[in-house]
Amino acid sequence: MNELEGETVIEKHMPNSFFNTNLHEKLQEQGVKELIVYGMMSHMCIDATVRAAVEHGYPCQVIEDACATTIKIEDKIVPAEHVHYAFKAALKGIYATVKTTEAFLK
């Protein structure tokens, strides 16, 4: 992994980025009050991390078009778009505001 000088790197081993990591402590040290969340995978890391963030008191914004997912069970592939939007709809409101990149940048 290439790290930048002075960059904080938090290694995680579970979908929830707060679980068994020092993420919460590092965010508090830096005075972070709100999280902007995007990445992989909508139905795992994004979902678990946003829910945990709210439990730690962080309002969250999810940038929906900067997230992706894929899911398969046995020989059945669930369309990624269906999974992605189902999880974004579940987070929207109680757990996060969900925005496109364009709306976020305005």
Assign residue 39 a region (left: φ > 0; alpha: ψ between -120 and 50; beta: otherwise). left
| CATH number listed for the domain at residues 23-105 | 3.40.50.850
Mean pLDDT of the chain: 94
pLDDT digit string, tens, across residues 16-64 = 999 999 999 999 999 999 999 999 999 999 999 999 999 999 999 999 9
- What is the model's pTM? 0.90
Tell whether the model's pLDDT for residue 15 goes beyond 80: yes
CA atoms within 13 A on the CB side of 21: 19
pLDDT at residue number 7: 87
Q: What is the pLDDT of residue 97?
A: 97
Each domain of the chain, given as residue ranges in start order, spans 23-105
Mean pLDDT of 88-94: 94
How far is Cα 90 from Cα 96, in angstroms, rounded to an integer?
A: 9
Percent of the chain exceeding pLDDT 70 equals: 98
- Rounded to whole angstroms, the Cα distance separating 93 from 102 reads 19
